Amino acid sequence: MLKGGKATLTLSGLTEAAIATVTYNGETLKPTAAGVYEFTATASGEVTVTVTYAYIASGTYTYASWLYSDGDTVSVKEKQSGALGTAGEGKFSIPLTPGTHTIVLTSARFADAETEVTIEDENVTIDTALEFTTMKFESGQAVGAYEFTADNQAVYFGGISVADFVVTADYTWLDGETSSGFAMKIGNEQYRIFAFDNGGKVKLCVRKGTDFWDNRNDLDYATDLDWNPGGAKPWTYTMKIVYNQGVMYVGIGDKYVKITADRAYTLPLASNGKGNISGAEFLNTAEKRIGFVAFGHEHNGSKVSVSNISFSINASEAAAEIEAALAE
């Protein structure tokens, strides 16, 4: 192999209790998948494989009741060595040598769950189930208060793509159109939903595209939702968005508005690089990735942020409650 080339070493035939230690040029390699090691040939040298037969630590994992876990994928590793085990369907197992170890379960959607286990001279069953309790963004950061650091920055929930959902969060408006907003992706297209002032009422602005100005298009819905009643700046407000069977409901304060594909709208940025946006293209039953976005990110020393985030897939129940409220 030429210097600078990339190499992949795959080990096969190992039992579950076998732990392989692979070294190259004096460095211990961590597996990228079970039995797979990748490295770049930076110098002449040997690859050494040492196999130690160990004991099995096994256990179970669960999800907090408010989390959407259907279709989630989980992996397990030992924290220090990176040694991998197997996980799925609420169970995990991993080979470990005698000593004290930290076991880490990593989910596609939720922040890691960890536990410590001591191995002596036999297999160990961990009695208490590990529980996933917190959603995470694609970056791995646990979902919580998030302060944006760049214009048009978007963050999406990790591993979640659904057609119908309920998302509630506290958003901040700083000035003009400098604000946090809701973001979603349908296929490769991003849509952003902001609440802006429209003469004391809320204008819902749906933006297609990711650019700050060029190559984006806006669609505006007039509503009777109240805008910033106290005149605060910055203003933090709670907005609830419900998508159910191609219909979007938006609530701010104690009022809701229903947005359907045929609801009237205006196009303040007609044909501005992305082609005109229509309600039908984002009010549908396609699966959507879900997150948050900033338009601008700071003003007069304040930062755009989003906080108190909640998510569920109980859209039909939420839509029924809103419909009943709208009918009163």
pLDDT for 144-186, tens place per residue?
Answer: 999 999 888 899 999 999 999 999 999 999 999 999 999 999 9
Task: Select from 112, 110, 160, 159 the least CA-distant residue to 135.
Answer: 110
pLDDT tens digits, one per residue of 26-55: 888 888 888 899 988 877 778 888 888 889
Answer whether 64's CB lies under 8 Å from 24's CB: no
Q: Are 304 and 292 in contact (CB under 8 A)?
A: no
Q: For a pLDDT cut of 70, what percent of the chain falls above it?
A: 98
- What six digits make up the tokens of 142? 């646990």
**What local confidence, expressed as pLDDT, does residue 39 receive?**
86
User: In the prediction, which pLDDT does 1 show?
Assistant: 55
Higher confidence at residue 291 or residue 1? 291
CATH (residue range 146-327): 2.60.120.200
Q: Which of 52-61, 213-222, 224-233 has the lowest mean pLDDT?
A: 213-222
Residue 166: predicted pLDDT: 98
Confidence of residue 277 (pLDDT cuts 50, 70, 90): confident
Environment class of 146 (CB within 10 Å of its CB; exposed 0-12, middle 13-18, buried 19+)? buried
6, burial (CB in 10 Å: exposed 0-12, middle 13-18, buried 19+): exposed
Q: Which residues pair with 116 in a beta bridge?
A: 102
> pLDDT grade, residue 3 (50/70/90)?
low
Distance CA 177, CA 213 (A): 12
pLDDT mean over 13-17: 79
**Residue 269 CB-density burial (10 A; 0-12 exposed, 13-18 middle, 19+ buried):** buried
Query: For residue 2, what pLDDT is reported?
Result: 56
| pLDDT tier for residue 271 given thresholds of 50, 70 and 90 | low
C-alpha 38/C-alpha 30 separation (Å) is: 8
Report the DSSP pairing between strands 55-63 and 27-29. unpaired
Report the pLDDT averaged over residues 263-289: 86
In this prediction, residue 133 carries a pLDDT of: 96
Mean pLDDT of all residues in the chain? 92
The CATH classification number of 55-132 equals 2.60.40.1120
- The answer on pLDDT for 231 being more than 60 is yes
Residue 60 pLDDT exceeds 70? yes
Measure the CA–CA gap between 250 and 226, rounded to whole angstroms.
12
Q: Say whether 146-327 and 55-132 share the same fold.
A: no
Predicted model pTM: 0.82
CA 181, CA 305: separation in Å to the nearest integer? 9
Q: By the 8 A CB rule, do 146 and 152 touch?
A: no
pLDDT band at 18 (very low <50, low <70, confident <90, very high): confident
Helix (H) or strand (E) holding 282: none
Segments making up each domain of the chain, as ranges = 6-53, 55-132, 146-327
Phi-psi category of residue 220: left, alpha or beta, with phi > 0 → left and psi -120 to 50 → alpha: beta
Distances (CA, A) of 198 to 77, 81, 172, 220, 325: 53, 57, 17, 10, 24
What is the pLDDT, as a whole number, of residue 14? Answer: 79
Q: DSSP states of 197-253 as a string?
A: EETTEEEEEEEESSSSSTT-EEEEEEEEEEP-TT--SSEEEEEEEEEETTEEEEEET
pLDDT digits 0-9 by tens, 184-209: 999 989 999 999 999 999 999 999 98
CA angle at 89 for the pair 129 and 135, rounded to the nearest 5°: 65
50: nearest Cα among 63, 61, 37: 37
Question: pLDDT tens for residues 103-123?
Answer: 999 999 999 999 999 999 899
Q: Kind of pairing, strands 124-125 and 55-63?
A: parallel
Average the pLDDT over 266-286 and give the result: 84
